A and B are shown apart, each in its own frame.
Chain A
């Protein structure tokens, strides 16, 4: 998987391949991925109230293969369900960076799109996709469970068609996202995840991975050390 960026993901670009079986495996993987989605719902705002009906027996998201997951390390979708305050945004980014690729972000409610009814608030971040690559926005204040499920199905279609590649954007344009994060959190902002190292590992680094903001990060970066296990008596 070290050269994930070089694997042609879009198999339906109309060009005839020399090996007719070349795209089959990709399509199979995409099909399976889109049918088995574990979502981490980061319930920040009021939109979370629409998720229990969407998940439980009335609308039943599990019939589409979407299930809740309790830990970011095993989740595919990060569901941000409402306004994100600046303080919460730090935690959202930490959570997002812990997830394994491929990972998808869905922003629910108007607040994640453009601040919503908190547009005037000094404490909430307005446009979520400045800080994280968002795959699908579900607008509404709040969207009904039908709309949530429709958004999920849109994401499933995107993955099946090979268009759900926003997570690669985070590696490829890390400098842009990091710059927006530093604008809010200050120049000494650092996450425990080594994004540049991961980008190198996946083979997803591009020219825009590095820039002035990653230079600032290098200046302030504390070396990452494993957390010492201690038993407190």
Chain B
């Protein structure tokens, strides 16, 4: 079967790279843990030699206790029909303003969008990414909001105010025959 052939080829390929940890979760799902320095080389190999031509997403995970960001590159192969996720960890640099990593735009073009999004949400700056302007949060001037150390609840309490609750309103509605009461025959168990 073609799929098996590619998988065998992939395992042989991955075994040649140093400092790499391959976990085959199922026939079509591979997890690769790779140090940050060799991730671009791995992606280059995957695209050029192992048919993983589609970068479907880059996700970012914040690990504040380890002082690290985890970047996950999800690559899809149409021929092997399998998803490979390459995990790497970069230092969080909480003293500086941004964490830094290198862009993979020269290997996968769609990476530009994902990197721009991660820069906006987590503050990870990707060197040599083509366009790192604001993407979705064009009105936002605060810290990157999806970092764990951003306290959204405190920000909301500082910025917004709340409507008062008046129980009388509910009674008014019920007197008019409305409200949230459910008739006994309508209750479905």
Contacts and interface: CB of A to CB of B under 8 A. Distances in A.
Interface of A: 86-87, 90, 113-115, 119-123, 125-127, 129-130, 147, 150, 183-185
Interface in B44-82: none
B153 to A, nearest CB: 5
B26 interface: no
B142 A122 contact: yes
Contacts of B150: 122
B contact patch SS: loop
B156 A130 contact: no
Nearest to B145: A122
Contacts, number: 43
B139 A150 contact: no
A14 to B, nearest CB: 23
B139 A114 contact: no
Interface of B: 137-140, 142, 145, 150, 152-153, 155-156, 159-163, 178
A114 B152 contact: no
Contacts of A90: 139
Given A119-B156, A121-B156, A122-B156, A87 B163 contact: no
A contact patch SS: helix
B144 to A, nearest CB: 11
Nearest to A129: B163
26 contacts: A86-B139, A87-B138, A87-B139, A113-B163, A114-B162, A114-B163, A115-B162, A120-B156, A122-B142, A122-B145, A122-B152, A123-B140, A123-B145, A126-B156, A126-B161, A126-B162, A126-B163, A127-B160, A127-B161, A127-B162, A127-B163, A130-B161, A147-B178, A150-B178, A184-B159, A185-B139
A76 B142 CA distance: 37
Chain A CB within 10 A, most for which of B138, B140, B155, B163:
B163
A228 to B, nearest CB: 25
B168 to A, nearest CB: 14
Nearest to A118: B156
